[in-house]
Structure 1
Amino acid sequence: MRGNRGGIMGWSGTARAMFVLFILLWPKTVFANGGPLHDPADAYGRLTFDEQSGIMLVRERVSFRIGDGVGDDASGPKGAAVSVEYELWNPGGVDREVDVLFLVPSREQVTVTTGGVRLDTGTPGVIPANWSARKSASVVDPLSGKALRFTARGSQTEEAAGTQFALTFAAGEKKLVTIRYMDRGGFYTRGVVRPLYAHLYYLTPAKYWEGAPQVELELTFASPGARVYSNMTLERLDAYTYRGTLKELPDEEWSFSYMYPHRLLFPTNIELDHNLLVLGTAAAAAALAALAALWTRRSYIFLLASLGIMAFTGYYISRMGGYPFNPIFVGLTDAAVGVALLVSYSVIRRRIKRTR
Structure 2
Amino acid sequence: MNLPLRTGRRIRWRRRWLPAVALLVLWLAPLMTAANGGPLYYPADGAGALQFDTDSPVRLIREHVTFTMPDHSQASRHDAQVEVRYTLQHTGREPETAEVMFVTPSSRELRVQSGSDSIPAAIVSDLQLANWEPQVKRTVTEPVSGTEQLFLGDGWQDGRLVGAKFTLRFEPEEMKQITIQYEDAGGMYDRRVINPVFSHLYYMTPAQYWKGEPQVQLEVRLPQPGYALSSNLPLTPSGAGSYAAQLDRLPETEWYFSYADTKRLFVPINLQTVHNSAVLGVAFVLLALLAGLTLYFRREWIFAAGIVGVFAFVAYFITNIGGYPFRGIFVGFVDTAVAAVLLAGYLIIRKRVRR
* TM beyond 0.5: yes
> Which of 40, 63, 71 is residue 37 of structure 1 equivalent to?
40
* In the alignment, structure 1 residue 100 sits paired with structure 2 residue 103: no
TM-aligned CA deviation for residue 86 of structure 1 = 1.0
- Which amino acid in 1 is paired with 2:69? I
Checking the alignment, whether the CA contact within 8 Å between 1:154 and 1:188 is kept in structure 2 is no
Matching residue of 1:65:
68
Matching residue of 1:300:
301
Checking the alignment, whether the CA contact within 8 Å between 1:135 and 1:252 is kept in structure 2 is no
Structure 2 SS opposite 1:237 = strand
Matching residue of 2:58:
55
What aligned pairs does 1:171-210 form with structure 2 within 5 A after superposition? 171-210=172-211
TM-aligned CA deviation for residue 202 of structure 1 = 1.0
- Which amino acid in 1 is paired with 2:284? A
TM-aligned CA deviation for residue 224 of structure 1 = 4.0
Matching residue of 2:120:
120
In structure 2, distance between residues paired with 1:54 and 1:157: 34
Matching residue of 2:87:
87
In structure 1, distance between residues paired with 2:128 and 2:153: 26
Structure 2 SS opposite 1:232 = coil
TM-aligned CA deviation for residue 135 of structure 1 = 3.6
Matching residue of 1:8:
none
In structure 1, distance between residues paired with 2:329 and 2:164: 47
Checking the alignment, whether the CA contact within 8 Å between 1:28 and 1:95 is kept in structure 2 is no
* In the alignment, structure 1 residue 257 sits paired with structure 2 residue 245: no
Structure 1, unmatched stretches of 5+, are: 1-24
In structure 1, distance between residues paired with 2:155 and 2:90: 44
The alpha-carbon distance between structure 1 residues 132 and 299, as it changes in their structure 2 partners (threshold 3 A), is same
Higher deviation after alignment, 177-186 or 226-235: 226-235
TM-aligned CA deviation for residue 83 of structure 1 = 0.9
Structure 2, unmatched stretches of 5+, are: 1-26
Alignment RMSD: 2.5
Structure 2 SS opposite 1:99 = strand
Checking the alignment, whether the CA contact within 8 Å between 2:31 and 2:41 is kept in structure 1 is no
CA offset digits 1:14-73 (Å, max 9, x no partner): xxxxxxxxxxx99972332321112111212221111111221110000112233x1x38
Checking the alignment, whether the CA contact within 8 Å between 2:226 and 2:263 is kept in structure 1 is no
Structure 2 SS opposite 1:163 = strand
Higher deviation after alignment, 295-304 or 313-322: 295-304
CA offset digits 1:292-327 (Å, max 9, x no partner): 222223333222211110111011111111233222
Checking the alignment, whether the CA contact within 8 Å between 1:142 and 1:229 is kept in structure 2 is yes
Checking the alignment, whether the CA contact within 8 Å between 2:105 and 2:156 is kept in structure 1 is no
Checking the alignment, whether the CA contact within 8 Å between 2:230 and 2:258 is kept in structure 1 is yes
In structure 1, distance between residues paired with 2:213 and 2:88: 12
TM-aligned CA deviation for residue 353 of structure 1 = 4.8
TM-score, length-scaled by structure 1? 0.84
CA offset digits 1:149-172 (Å, max 9, x no partner): 221478855521001112222222
* Higher gyration radius (CA): 1
The alpha-carbon distance between structure 1 residues 324 and 263, as it changes in their structure 2 partners (threshold 3 A), is same
TM-aligned CA deviation for residue 213 of structure 1 = 0.7
In structure 2, distance between residues paired with 1:61 and 1:152: 29
Structure 2 SS opposite 1:41 = coil
What aligned pairs does 1:6-25 form with structure 2 within 5 A after superposition? none
Checking the alignment, whether the CA contact within 8 Å between 2:106 and 2:183 is kept in structure 1 is no
The alpha-carbon distance between structure 1 residues 58 and 154, as it changes in their structure 2 partners (threshold 3 A), is closer
Checking the alignment, whether the CA contact within 8 Å between 2:60 and 2:210 is kept in structure 1 is yes
Matching residue of 2:235:
234
The alpha-carbon distance between structure 1 residues 77 and 186, as it changes in their structure 2 partners (threshold 3 A), is farther
Checking the alignment, whether the CA contact within 8 Å between 1:76 and 1:187 is kept in structure 2 is no
